Amino acid sequence: MWAMRLASSISTWKGAKMKIADIIGRFNLTAHIPEGKSSDVEILSVAAIDKVKAGQISFFSSAEFAHLLPQSQATALVVKEVQPGFSGVQLVHKDPQFIFAKLALDFYKPDHGPLGIHENAYVDPGAEIGKDVRIHPGAHIEDRAVIGDRVVIYPGVYIGKGVKIGADSVLHPNVVVYNDCIIGLRALIHAGTVIGADGFGFAVSGGEVCKIPQVGIVRIGNDV
């Protein structure tokens, strides 16, 4: 199902292409190449098993889709074991969906805009900014914040004092990260997310309500 959802959402992303032989070498795959086929053929994109066309690669891991194999136009499939019903190149791996996911990341890299810090972004002089970042207009980065290499910060993002953002993370528009929170490597934070806001904690006595300060931080690990 993940692959099918992907097929309908990749059109806004930048693509690439690579030869089957390069895919085999990168992932150390076992290749089944029928007569008349070649590993020198270029793959242009990935697609779901029920939508794949010539020039594309997909994966097969469920007998539910076996009826699609004889008529499949796929140039190549990643499979757990060789499927006699498919006439194209088959690349064997114990986890076909995992290889497909890796390929999808290679073929469809999102366009995060130009490198650098936009003139309409605010970066406090006390902030530490890594290499090859993309900081868009309207972003606001406070004192002592540490922004890792290749981080992408979209318009309207607020980074509080002492926040640490790990390398290769992406913060989409209007994300808010409160003071001293820590975000690990390769995080993907979607638009409008608020990290580090306090919850509902109150003490009540004799009809008087007192808000309890919540002074901790949020720590998010890698690859979240």
Rounded Cα distance between 52 and 196, Å, is 43
Q: Which residues are paired to 189 by β-bridges?
A: 171
Q: Where are the alpha helices (DSSP H) in 16-122?
A: 20-27, 96-107
- Alpha-carbon 68 to chain mean position: 29
Average pLDDT score over residue span 130-135: 98
This prediction's pTM: 0.74
Residue 72's nearest CA partner among 62, 81, 91, 85 is 85
Q: Residue 167's pLDDT is what?
A: 98
Rounded Cα distance between 16 and 39, Å, is 17
Q: Residue 15's pLDDT is what?
A: 54
Q: Is the pLDDT of residue 4 over 60?
A: no
Average pLDDT score over residue span 102-118: 90
Lowest mean pLDDT among 15-19, 119-123, 167-171: 15-19
Domains and CATH numbers, the chain: 2-107 (3.40.1390.10), 116-220 (2.160.10.10)
Confidence category of residue 106, pLDDT binned at 50, 70, 90: confident
Q: What is the mean pLDDT of the chain?
A: 90
